[in-house]
Amino acid sequence: MNLVDLGPIAQLRAGRLGRRLPQLYLGLVMYGVSLAMMYRGDLGLAPWDVLHSGLIQHVPITIGQAVVVVSFLVLLLWIPLREIPGIGTVSNALVVGFSADATLAVLAEPDALVLRVALMVGGVLLCGLASALYIGAQLGRGPRDGLMTGFARRTGHSIRLVRTCLEVTVVVIGVLLGGTLGLGTVLYALAIGPLTQLWLPAFTVDLDRPGPLVPAPGSVCP
């Protein structure tokens, strides 16, 4: 499994777009579906989605629209960090939110606790698979992942520390705004890294043009 760090033009020139582009968009759509499943389960959301769910308590937008808005706000922070977006970065900012809203339009919130638990667990599992798909396509980091790697590079701190600080911050802000925090948040935090790591080797596309190797992420976010 070789993950490489390429600029946006090199990403496209690296070949195998016939597989990589469909895999990227399939992964992003599935990520949005997984968000919607956890949202309908109403037992806790992923850290950034706690923020999104809190934001919609105060602004008349959907949670999918909140994902898109926050994604582009995060991309503004890439400018001083000198992170370079790729096609996957911009696609991530748009597709996940649209997919989440489309799924929520047809997925009702169940009354039975067992079904809500199933949605929560299924959402986490699907998110791990979706993450492996879009990361393995090697077409650019998601907005939040780029924020994490940018801060890590600028500060010299570890990815683990920077990610923890960012996610604790967004969870605290989300909770203060009224976002959904619960068992699903804890399950996501514990499981998403191992699940992505488990599936990533199967979906990492070897590229025709080598670049600097980057470590496989222990956990990811869009």
Question: pLDDT at position 217, please?
Answer: 47
Residue 111 lies in a domain: yes
Residue 157 lies in a domain: yes
Q: What count of Cα atoms within 13 Å lies in the side-chain half-sphere of residue 28?
A: 30
Residue 42 falls in which region: left (phi positive, over 0), alpha (psi -120 to 50) or beta? left
Residue 179 lies in a domain: yes
184-217 pLDDT, tens per residue? 999 999 999 899 989 999 999 988 655 444 444 4
Query: Residue 173 in contact with residue 54, Cβ under 8 Å?
Result: yes
131-185 pLDDT, tens per residue? 999 999 989 889 998 898 888 888 888 888 888 899 999 999 999 999 999 999 9
Query: Residue 185 in contact with residue 47, Cβ under 8 Å?
Result: yes
Does residue 218 surpass a pLDDT of 50?
Answer: no
Does residue 3 surpass a pLDDT of 50?
Answer: yes
Best CA proximity match to 78, nearest among 164, 151, 29, 135: 151
Question: pLDDT at position 219, please?
Answer: 46
14-28 pLDDT, tens per residue? 888 999 999 999 999
Domain that holds residue 97: 8-203
**200 CB neighbour count, 10 Å cutoff:** 21
What separation in angstroms does the CA of 149 have from each of 29, 57, 102, 145, 195? 23, 30, 30, 6, 20
Separation between Cα atoms, residue 124 and residue 196, nearest integer Å: 10
Query: Residue 88 in contact with residue 125, Cβ under 8 Å?
Result: no
Question: pLDDT at position 4, please?
Answer: 75
Separation between Cα atoms, residue 99 and residue 113, nearest integer Å: 25
Residue 1 lies in a domain: no
Q: What is the pTM of this model?
A: 0.89
Residue 23 lies in a domain: yes
74-116 pLDDT, tens per residue? 999 999 988 888 899 999 999 999 999 999 999 999 999 999 9
Number of domains in the chain: 1
Query: Residue 27 in contact with residue 126, Cβ under 8 Å?
Result: no
Residue 87 lies in a domain: yes
45-79 pLDDT, tens per residue? 999 999 999 999 999 999 999 999 999 999 999 99
Q: What number is the average pLDDT over the span 34-55?
A: 97
Residue 221 lies in a domain: no
Residue 3 lies in a domain: no
Q: Beta partners for 139?
A: none
